[in-house]
């Protein structure tokens, strides 16, 4: 009886699981990337219990120690435990990546949708977007951070703002093409209210390319955060991020390359995982884009 009940469930569960399984089977590298990314996220979340000490604790007598049982990755120039700092550093990189991707996608989508449906606004908004896009993103970000003071929020905003125009352009192109589709024209002609039109017909079409775009934004946000830290305009260095660990440690590169290389590899690995995942998602969700750009943006 029990057996009879459980049996038919098997195929159902398999079927429900199938998209993920099929995805992993089709893109084994992406599966690996997802696994790595999952582990990094988990490490960031569980940082306090992963045999870490206070990542900010200075120990003047313990400067630049080699890796040992007490300090798995050794200590840095102020005697702080590198293992703890790398683990906690994951939090900053991931928060920055997630926040930048989310905010830029939401803000960009809103701006694009609103401006494509309010005609008089369109020209103005697009000129502003062109202007923002013409300013090299990294310079805009450095200027914003160093001029308005280093905090995590300013760094996130500074990386987000240059990303917005790209999202706007992407969404705008989707919206404009969707508007020409017969079923949307039909919906317009029967007088579907605008919000409903956008929600039902326009936004769903934007989601796949946006998910793909978001992964690339996330990857480049982590990189930009590291570059900003390197140039002295990153997140406040009191709390470790991979970027500011590298920036602070670079002076010691010739004697203790691990101080730079450990966070560097962690960063590269995470970005790599996100990029690989993004590629696979794009192949799956947006084959046209894949063809057009050959991968990276």
Binding site for another protein (CB under 8 A): 56-58, 60-61, 63, 77-79, 127-128, 130-140, 142-144, 146-151, 219, 223, 226-227, 230-233, 236-238, 244, 246, 250-255, 257, 260-261, 264, 267-269, 271-272, 275-276, 279, 290-297
CB closer to another protein out of 67 and 236: 236
CB closer to another protein out of 47 and 272:
272
What is the nearest approach in angstroms of another protein to the Cβ of residue 79? 8
Nearer to another protein, 17 or 56 (CB): 56
For 169, residues 6+ apart whose C-beta sits below 8 A from its C-beta are: 112, 129
User: Distance between CA atoms of 60 and 63, rounded to whole angstroms?
Assistant: 6
b/e map 244-276, b = 16+ CB within 10 Å? bbbbbbeebeeebebbbebbbebbeebbebbbb
Shortest distance, position 237 Cβ to another protein, whole Å: 5
Q: Residue 285 has which token pair?
A: 């969700």
Q: What residues form DSSP beta bridges with 81? A: 75
- Integer angstrom CA distances of residue 199 from 87, 109, 169, 192, 212: 40, 12, 19, 11, 20
DSSP bridge pairs for 75: 81
Distance separating alpha carbons of residues 212 and 114, to the nearest angstrom = 22
Q: How far is the CB of 134 from another protein (least distance, A)?
A: 4
Question: Among residues 99 and 259, whose Cβ is nearest to another protein?
Answer: 259
Q: What angle do CA 212, 24, 174 make, to 5 degrees?
A: 20
Q: What angle do CA 136, 139, 140 make, to 5 degrees?
A: 85
Q: Give min distance, CB of 213 to another protein, in A.
A: 14
- DSSP codes of every residue in 123-146: HHHHHHHHHHHHS-HHHHHHHHHH
Closer of 207 and 290 to another protein (Cβ): 290
Q: How near is the Cβ of 243 to another protein at its closest, in Å?
A: 8
Least CB distance from residue 175 to another protein, whole Å?
Answer: 22
- Smaller CB separation from another protein, 114 or 143: 143
CB 108 within 8 A of CB 129: no
Residue 258 CB, shortest distance to another protein, in Å, is 12
Q: Which is nearer to another protein, 202 or 256 (CB)?
A: 256
């Amino acid at each position: 009886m029990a057996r009879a009940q459980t049996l038919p469930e098997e195929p159902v569960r398999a079927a429900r699981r199938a998209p993920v399984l099929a995805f992993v089977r089709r893109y084994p590298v992406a599966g690996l990337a997802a696994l790595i990314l999952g582990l990094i996220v988990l490490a960031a979340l569980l940082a306090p219990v992963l045999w870490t000490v206070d990542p900010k604790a200075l120990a003047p007598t313990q400067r630049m120690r080699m890796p040992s049982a007490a300090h798995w990755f050794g200590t840095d120039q102020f005697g702080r435990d590198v293992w703890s700092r790398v683990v906690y550093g994951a939090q900053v990189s991931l928060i920055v990546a997630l926040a930048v991707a989310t905010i830029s996608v939401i803000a960009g989508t809103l701006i694009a949708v609103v401006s494509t449906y309010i005609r008089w606004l369109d020209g103005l908004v697009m000129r502003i977007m062109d202007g923002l896009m013409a300013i090299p993103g990294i310079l805009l970000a450095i200027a914003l951070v160093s001029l308005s003071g280093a905090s995590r929020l300013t760094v996130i905003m500074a990386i987000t703002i240059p990303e917005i125009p790209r999202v706007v352009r992407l969404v705008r192109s989707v919206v404009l093409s969707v508007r020409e589709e017969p079923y949307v024209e039909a919906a317009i002609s029967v007088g579907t209210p605008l919000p409903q039109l956008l929600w039902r017909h326009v936004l769903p079409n934007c989601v796949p390319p946006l998910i793909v775009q978001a992964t690339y934004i996330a990857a480049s946000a982590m990189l930009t955060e590291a570059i900003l830290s390197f140039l002295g305009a990153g997140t406040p260095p009191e709390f470790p991020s991979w970027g500011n660990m590298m920036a602070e440690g670079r002076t010691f590169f010739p004697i203790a390359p691990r101080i730079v290389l450990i966070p560097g590899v962690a960063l590269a690995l995470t970005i790599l995982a996100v990029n690989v995942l993004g590629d696979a998602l794009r192949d799956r969700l947006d084959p046209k884009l894949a063809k057009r750009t050959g991968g990276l943006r």
